[in-house]
Structure 1
């Protein structure tokens, strides 16, 4: 699962319009036009994306970089919760597992509790324990840290769509 897939599924799950996507990117510090945002979300039709090679990652007209994706998530937090005060440090770019980062930032943006996340996953048909969720939300490098797999993030985004659409 690449950043374009995550972005497309998140956009669908939260029912975000193209104009709002442009604004959210701008709040995160990335200037993109409406056409560029649409290119990030539109799959490129090639021979390799047809049934001959179903396991290949989806190819999009424009690739979403790590920085663009994280800045979008930061912009989503700002759009939902407002900008931080001047005396607070600015949002920093992090490296690490994109699925873990996405889950953490969506949790912050939508003011979700761990129980809310467990409920969203359960609506999508996935049951995990509170300790498993806690391990996924920990900082990378912590002894109990666990990377979040694509299956969990797909089902989380599916649950968001069921809840918010």
Structure 2
């Protein structure tokens, strides 16, 4: 699943307005205009071939760093700004996520931003149409490299975002 698609689905599920999107990006350290947000939120025209089509007039690609900055800004937007602890940097620098770990990061950051418990997440996944055990969810929320870490697939992330839409939009 592309990062633009993740933002489109997240925006729909949580009913985030364009003005709020600009503010969230700013809280995450990325300056975008309302017009750029609209370009990010448009679906790209895809060819049947392997070539990536980018129409600069109507579409803007969201990279992993930009998505992570948005999610960090979303945490700040929902929970408020926290004072940094002594000896730690003021805000975490976005890490260069591999494509495989973007969905895991999405679930972790949404759990923090929306203050979800494990039971809440299991209910959301159930609403999205997928039954998951606590152990499986715990494996997805672990750090990469942990022996019980499990990669979150696109279908799993899609079902979670669908469940969020059911929960927050009815």
* Both proteins in one fold, TM over 0.5: yes
- 2:82 equivalent to 1:84: yes
Deviates more, 1:56-65 or 1:9-18: 56-65
2:5 and 2:43 in contact (8 A); partners too: no
* Matched positions, count: 160
Deviation at 1:43, TM superposition (A): 2.0
Residue of structure 1 aligned with 2:110, choices 98, 106, 109:
106
1:109-124 map, 5 Å: 109-124=113-128
Deviation at 1:45, TM superposition (A): 4.2
Deviation at 1:91, TM superposition (A): 2.1
- Distance between the aligned counterparts of 1:37 and 1:117, measured in 2? 28
List alignment gaps of at least 5 residues for structure 2: none
1:28 and 1:74 in contact (8 A); partners too: yes
- Which 4+ runs in 1 deviate beyond 4 A? 54-60
Deviation at 1:54, TM superposition (A): 10
1:1-165 map, 5 Å: 1-45=1-45, 48=47, 53=48, 61-87=59-85, 89=89, 90-94=91-95, 95-96=97-98, 97-165=101-169
Deviation at 1:57, TM superposition (A): 8.2
- Distance between the aligned counterparts of 2:141 and 2:63, measured in 1? 22
Secondary structure of 2:72's aligned partner: helix
- Cα gap change, 1:71 to 1:162, in 2 (>3 Å): same
Deviation at 1:65, TM superposition (A): 1.1
| Root-mean-square deviation (Å) | 2.1
Bigger share in helix: 1
- Cα gap change, 1:98 to 1:57, in 2 (>3 Å): farther
